[in-house]
Structure 1
Amino acid sequence: MDYSSYQTADFLTDDSFIAYCYAESTEAIEKWENIAAQKPDLGLKIDEARELCLLLGIKVGAAEKSIALERLKNALDETVEAELPESRIIGLRNYVMRWIAVAAAVLIMAGAFAVYQLNTNPTGAALYSAANDHNYSLIGRTKAGERRFIRLPDGSTVLLNGASSLKIATDYNAHNRHLLLTGEAFFSVTKNKHKPFVVITGKTATTALGTSFKVESYPDATMASVMLLTGKVKVECTRPDLDVADVTLIPGQKAALFKGDKVFTQTDFNASDLQNWINRKLVFKDAGLPEIAAKIKAMYGIIIAPVDKAGDSISFTGEFSGKNINEVLEAIGFTNHFTYKQDGNTIKLLF
């Protein structure tokens, strides 16, 4: 049979195609996979029809489909027999029969989609509580001071900072785009208003449609934050016991949630500071140890352990771009006469 003229309605009324969509028949699966392979131009139509078919089955059972279809058939019979002579009833019924199932599908899908939308936009707290190893899988992990660039299936990108991990939902890009972050990362999101992009952490959940932002949420840190570079995002707290109100950010704004607080602290930030973070650019001018330690922690996720009074004499002027933590510390240590020892994400300075 020639399927080149098939439209969505034709697919949805083809029993073998329905069996293929729901993997109910090996024969049907082989048939439609072969058709898609032999006729690449049909691939998009097949994918679209399959997505609609699967959407139809999300919240609606077989009994409901049958009832809806029967009601439409009865309604059509009553209308046709009341308004047309018998000679035309049979011809019209044959013509519209394949559209009856499509009409039923459209009606059911409309209701199913509304329910689906309601149920697939839960709160950040609900998303975090439902996350587990069955519905999320590890896609990236970094050591302290390490960075990793990750491209997601939808084209969005992630710059994963040190001592961090990122998990991706097993159904990512199906109807939603959910990620589970531990640590810190910068996200550049491909626009798709139909599939919300949500970054979930143990403290915050950030929802975007198409934008770029940085999320920081290390497990032992006293503060979690979101910095928005472009677009707009909604930030929620994933701790329902805190009852923290959601906030919406515009470019240049930062939302921070400090340990013990029950409200997000919103402040402005300089976009160049975030760009420096992205490019791993550090600038010091007569910087003492507190400033150096703060910038190293922000850039690399590495903590410089408290030191005695010897640290008070440290001062450094210089600029680093794209350097790793060892290169930075060796340069600062050379001019200030110290060495260092690293243990995980903590560094101890040795004078």
Structure 2
Amino acid sequence: MEVRKIRQLLQRYLLGRHTPAEGHAVEQWYQHFDAEAPVQLTAEEEARISEEMWQHIRPALVPAKSILIAFHRRRWVRTTAAAAMVSGLALGAWWYRQAGPSSTLAYHEVHTRNGEQRTLQLPDSSRMTLNAGSTVRIADDFRAHRHIEVVDGEAFFDVKTNASAPFTVQSGDLHTTVLGTSFNVNAYTALHTMEISVRSGRVKVEGAGGGTVLTQGKALLLDKTAHTLRVQAMEPDALAWQHGSLVLNDASFADMAVLMEKNFGVRITATSATVKATRYTTELDLHMDPAQAVAVLAAIHHLKISGIGNQVLLHE
């Protein structure tokens, strides 16, 4: 079991938001350690282990108050239990053996083809709009577990507030928790960046580099090549795709080619180093004929096109 899922399980348990099956499994795991003869530790060793556990748990799980409650309720200060909590591996293996694969969330996938957009009303009455060439996974038991994974592509969410069931979105390394909002996730796997933009309300975004809360009009940009995160003002054209436009703003050749294929179904290649080094800036109507869209793109950048069907070569 993934460490992230183990942490989420423990977090739900400590906050009292677990299912009966999850609660039973965690209780049995605790009893597994209670059944063993306790390891005799000195006061200094207990203090050291407690501090090590706290330093590992604090960034990933729950506020200090909840953790302290758990320490008083359970005898966690044992060498075996400490190692299992820090790594997460012992609980993962034990949980998998006890509950099996069916204990994890089941999903179904939703796709859009290149050039297709689609709006769905989710079981909780939230709305999700998928951009072209996108794939998402939606939890089957969505009313209880409002979780969506953006596998590839771009999606806009207009979320209904439900304090008892957080709305979460996983996109690559970024985990977004919705605090009542409408927001956009641009997570095409072939692009070198990933962007989360907030149109209204707030979202909490967490990743390997830490977490931040984005408010209305803010965006978080992840550079997947440089491995950097930056909070900035939301781009005015971040939602242009919902209004029928593809906006390229100083895009690299590689990113431009990805977006042209996703939105128009046209595969653009180049052999010229100059063409590949060109930065592309334009706005294209998504209702245009693909050949016309490529012609406009080429004309604006003083380039020529050749090719057959949906295979296009840009050259000088």
Q: What corresponds to 1:253 in structure 2?
A: 218
Percent identity over paired residues: 26
Structure 1 stretches of 4+ with a deviation exceeding 6 A read 314-318
1:194 correspondence with 2:159: no
Q: How many residues align?
A: 220
Structure 1 stretch displaced more, 257-266 or 190-199: 257-266
1:155 aligns with 2:125: yes
> Which of 102, 105, 110 pairs up with 1:135?
105
- Check conservation: 1:342, 1:348, Cα contact below 8 A: no
Alignment-mate amino acid for residue 150 of structure 2: L
CA deviation after TM superposition for structure 1 residue 154, in Å: 1.2
Distance 2:209 2:282 in 1: 41
2:73 matched to which residue of 1? none
From 138, 147, 150, the equivalent of 1:168 is 138
1:34-86 CA distances to partner (integer Å, 9 max, x unpaired)? Answer: xxxxxxxxxxxxxxxxxxxxx9956677xx9xxxxxxxxxxxxxxxxxxxxxx
1:145 to 103, 115, 127: 115
3-state secondary structure, aligned to 1:278: helix
Per the normalisation by structure 2, the TM-score is 0.54
Distance (whole Å) between structure 1 residues aligned to residue 270 and residue 161 of structure 2: 44
Partner of 2:287: 323
Cα separation, 2, equivalents of 1:249 and 1:325 = 37
Aligned equivalent of 1:276: 240
- What is the CA–CA distance in structure 1 between the aligned matches of 2:197 and 2:260, rounded to whole Å? 14
Amino acid at match of 2:203: V
SS at match of 1:232: strand
Q: Gaps (5+ residues) in structure 1?
A: 1-54, 65-113, 116-129, 238-242
Flag the structure with higher helix content.
Answer: 1
Q: Name the counterpart of 1:203.
A: 173
CA distance in 2, matches of 1:155, 1:56: 23
* Residue among 225, 230, 250 paired with 1:265: 230
Instruction: Please give the alpha-carbon distance, in whole angstroms, between the structure 2 residues aligned to 1:216 and 1:342.
Output: 28
Residue pairs, 1:328-339, within 5 angstroms: 328-332=293-297, 338-339=305-306
- In the TM superposition, residue 203 of structure 1 has moved relative to its aligned partner by 1.8
Residues 296 and 274 of structure 1: CA distance in aligned 2, closer, same or farther (over 3 Å): farther
Name the TM-score, length of structure 1 as normaliser.
Answer: 0.50
Pairwise CA distance, 1:306: 3.6
Deviation at 1:333, TM superposition (A): 5.6
Structure 2: give runs of 5+ residues left out of the alignment.
Answer: 1-17, 28-68, 71-95
Which has more radius of gyration?
Answer: 1
Residue of structure 1 equivalent to 2:202: 232
Alpha-carbon shift at residue 178 of structure 1 (Å):
0.4
CA 1:57–1:177 in structure 2 vs 1: closer, same or farther (change >3 Å)?
same
Distance of 1:135 and 1:311 partners within structure 2: 46
Q: Could you tell me whether the CA contact under 8 Å between 2:107 and 2:139 is conserved in 1? A: yes
Q: Is the 1:224–1:257 Cα contact (8 Å) retained in structure 2?
A: yes
* Cross-structure match for 1:177: 146
Distance 1:177 1:342 in 2: 42
The structural deviation recorded for 1:298 is 5.2
Amino acid at match of 1:236: E
